[in-house]
Amino acid sequence: MGKKNGKRKISVEASRKALLNDLRSKCTGETITKQISFANDDVPNYLKWLKERQEASRDVKIIVR
């Protein structure tokens, strides 16, 4: 935990856990735990490609006038 720009920063895990506990306490039914399998790597591959493409774009100089 720390403070940055005057904002209190909480870890993702802590934030998610607090929210989950809050919802568990409010919901009326039973929660279900389940393994969910990713079917393909389309998104990781795309994100990798996009990152490289955006990095290369940052240095492109086009004259605008």
- Footprint on residues 2-21 left by another protein (CB under 8 A): 5, 7, 10, 12, 15-16, 19-20
Instruction: Please work out the total of residues on this chain that contact another protein, with binding judged by CB under 8 A.
Output: 49
Closer residue to another protein (CB): 2 or 59: 59
Does residue 56 bind another protein (CB under 8 A)? yes
| Phi, psi at 5, each rounded to 5° | 55, 35
Does residue 1 bind another protein (CB under 8 A)? no
CB 9 within 8 Å of CB 1: yes
Q: Which residue type, as a one-letter code, is found at position 52?
A: E
Q: Which two tokens stand for residue 29?
A: 């039914």
Does residue 65 bind another protein (CB under 8 A)? yes
Alpha-carbon torsion (27, 33, 37, 38), positive or negative: positive
In the bound complex, what is the minimum distance in angstroms from residue 4's beta carbon to another protein? 9
